Structure formats: structure tokens, C-alpha cells
Amino acid sequence: MGSSILVSFGQVAFQAQFNPILIIIAWILGGLLVLPEMLLLSEGATSYPENGTSYYWIKRAKWNACSFWFGWIMVLFVSATAVATACLAFGNIVVTLLKLENQWYGKMFGILILFGLVLMQLLIKKSSGYSQIIFALLKGLPIVLVLIIAMVYGNTSSFTDDTINKNLSQIYLSSFLLLPATAMTMFAYSGMEAITYVSGEVINPRKNIPRAMIIATIMIVILYIILAIGLLTINKPQAWIGPNGFNNVWYYAIMNNPKIPPVLNYLFSILAIFIFVGSLNSFLVYHSRLIFKMSEEKDFFAFFQKTTKLTNMPYLAMLFLVILAVIYILWTSLFNVTNYFILAVSVLKFITMLSLIYLRINDSKYEPLYQKPLFIILVILALSSCLITFIGSILAMYYYAQNTHNMWELWNCLLVLGGMLSGYPLYYVKKWCAQKLKPKKQKDNINSKENG
């Protein structure tokens, strides 16, 4: 549970055309779509109780081009966009609180907090560990506050409005609208697979990992559905809109309800800052370690393994991640960056599912949790989820471009998709260059020894 509390709800509402019923259905469908994937990941994690999850599985399958491609997508289009999203959302809250109209101020605030956290992690010993514990506790405060506001000041007017019947009368259109709306929920639901990242450290993983995955998924899905209903009781979806669009829907939903004291509006926004700072703090730790790991596996340059003496943080990997995030922050909007994240995650999930199928068939050390018929059903559902998310995210970008009358927004999305796909052939270019340079290096080494 992190930055998606402010990022996802407005985007889901926008794609569902502000229909309260469709909004809730989208959150339910998103949760149902993610569950088969979690079950399959738990089988992979129990078969190979090693840290590293999908990346490790692809390496074990000896899909060298795929592992390089996986790293290419993960770092450039998932890690960097996750950091950029938290920065942009943080900046939007600060801009809202200070009543600034220029969104470049928000970008500036986001970049400043990013560099502040980097300096803290590089210069203060054990700061990343202690700060994550503190932020984990603080992140629950705004969630508790909005639920209290919903219970005390909420009403059912959103569910009696004419907008409920607006698209439900056309079943086909409603189903079509749910594709992009459901895709937007995936930003909130992504991250539950983190349980498998530490499968090598879990006691009795065959029993505890599947149990943890199922319980965590159900709890998070229920919590997001409750939050969606809570937001709808606080105000109608049309009242969530602020001058800067859907960047801070909770703030405007609370502010536009005359029954709610204004002080609660500002209190929520101040508490919500902890969510984004906490998310950024954990992103920097985890995603920089990912770059470090891929550098060890020779899928990235070796110099990314350099660490600081004081804090043992991979400072070059972290700097690379920050530079990529800043490019996203300056280049595009919060909605676009979120969409790039969803596109990339859907591609990575597809690669992960294929690697699990391959390992189950070909690796004697693979230990199935499910009977073959159930496994096939789960695979079909998980791959369908990847396809729905992929198509839905492109449709979401198309609708967004139409509404903003700026089709360049859609072309940006397609350019990012092209960048993702280019990672696979780049492996072979990298391999060819290495083979061409190898004889020259060997010859230089022989000459230097003879001269020596």
C-alpha cells in the first residue's frame, strides 16, 4: 500500500467516465485478474527458494536474451517510472497545499525530495533501514483518516446519481470502458509479488509463501475496494476534479464537500506526503539493488557494483536510477508515467509466465504446487490478465489523448513501447560487439606481456 492511494483512484474514475458502479467493478476485476498471477508466482518461488524471483527464473531457464531484455525493461521503464511517479505525486501535493498554479514547481519539489533522500541514504549509516520502518508506520495514517472521514461525513448520493445509468444501459460500451479502467488499477495492485523477492529467507516456503500471497492479495484488494467506496461516499466523482486534473483526488473530494471541515482536507494532504516520501525511500533501496544485481550478472556495466564505504549503498546504480527518473519527471505528466509503468509491467509479467511454463516442463528441480489442469487454467487466466492490462493501458492513453486534444500523448506511449521492444535485439548487438572486441583485447594483452 503506497503512492497508488493518490495516483490510481482519479485515473480509474476518468477511464470509467465517472460512473460509480463501473469504478467499483474495475477495482474488483483488477483484483480478480491479479490473483491467478500471484498463485503462479508462489509456485515458482517455492520451487526455487532463492532471492531474485522473475529475473532468477529467467536466468535459470538460460534465456540470456530474455534476461537482458527483462533487465532493460525493468530498469528503464519500471524502476525509473516508479520513482518518477512518486516524485510527481509528491510535487502535486505540495503545489496543491501552497496553491501554486505552475506545475513546474511540482516537478521541482519532486526532484528536490528525491535528491534529499539519495543524500540521506548515501551519507547516513543505516538510514535506509530505520527510515523504512518509520515511513511504514506513518503511511497508515492518511488511510485511516480518509476512512474515518468517509464514515462520519459520507453519503450515498454518488450511487443515486444519473451517471450510474449513463453507460450501464449499453453493455458493450460498459465492458469496453472497463478495459482501460481495470488496467489503471494494476498500478495499485502491482508490488504484492514482493513476497517472492525474499523467498530464500522464508521458513517453510512451500507452505508459507502461497498462504502469504493469497492472504496479502485478498487483503489489499478488499482494502482498495473499501477505499474506492469511501471516496465515492465523500463526494461524487465529478467533484474529484481539481485545476490540475486528477493529481490529488482525495484533496478535492474532501474540499468540495461543504460538510467536511477544511482542516481535515489539509491534514490529509500533509499526512499523504509520508506515503510518497516512504515509497520513494523504499524504491531507491530496492530498485538500485536490482541494477546492482543485474550488473553482477553481466547484464549491465560492471561499474554499477561500486558501493560507498560508509553505507554500502550502490551509489552509481542509484545515480543512474535518479537520472532516468528525472528525465521522466521533466518530460511528461503523472498520468503518462503511470501508464508507461503499467505497459512495462504487463510485458514483464508475460515474460515471467512463459519462463515458469518452460521451467515446469523442462527443469527436473521444479516442484509443482498445482495439478496440471489447474496449472493450465491459472496460466490462461494470468496470460489473459497480461493481455487485458496491455490493451487497456493503450486504450487509456488513447482516451486521454482524445480528451486533452493532444494525440502526441498517444505517440509518446507508442514510442515508449518501441523502446521496450528494442531491448531484445539489443542483446544480440551487445553480444556481437563483445565478440568483435574480444580478439582485439586478447591481442593487446599479448602485446603488453611481450613488451613487459
> What are the backbone dihedrals phi and psi of residue 248, each rounded to the nearest 5 degrees, phi first?
-150, 70
What is the domain-level CATH number for residue 265?
1.20.1740.10
Residue 245: beta bridge partners?
A: 242
Total domains, the chain: 1
Q: Which three cell numbers stand for residue 93?
A: 501535493
Interatomic CA distance for residues 148 and 397, integer angstroms: 34
Residue 242: beta bridge partners?
A: 245
At 344, the pLDDT band (50, 70, 90 cuts) reads: confident
Angle at CA of residue 275, ends 54 and 273, nearest 5°: 145
Range of the domain at 42: 3-448
- Proportion of the chain above pLDDT 70, given as a percent: 86
At 360, the pLDDT band (50, 70, 90 cuts) reads: very high
Chain segment 129-139, per-residue pLDDT in tens: 666 677 777 77
At 362, the pLDDT band (50, 70, 90 cuts) reads: very high
Mean of pLDDT values over 112-137: 78
Query: Is the pLDDT score of 171 beyond 50?
Result: no
- Helices and strands counted in the chain (H then E): 18, 0
Among 92-106, 124-138, 180-194, 392-406, which is the least confidently predicted range?
124-138
Calculate the average pLDDT of the chain.
80
CA distances to 132, 173, 178, 222, 255 from 226, in Å: 26, 26, 19, 6, 20
**Residue 395: CB atoms within 10 Å:** 17
CB neighbour class for 155 (10 Å; exposed up to 12, middle 13-18, buried from 19): middle
**Residue 435: CB atoms within 10 Å:** 9
**Whether the model pTM is above 0.95:** no
pLDDT for residue 309: 81
Specify the higher pLDDT residue, 218 or 443: 218
Reported residue count of the chain is: 452
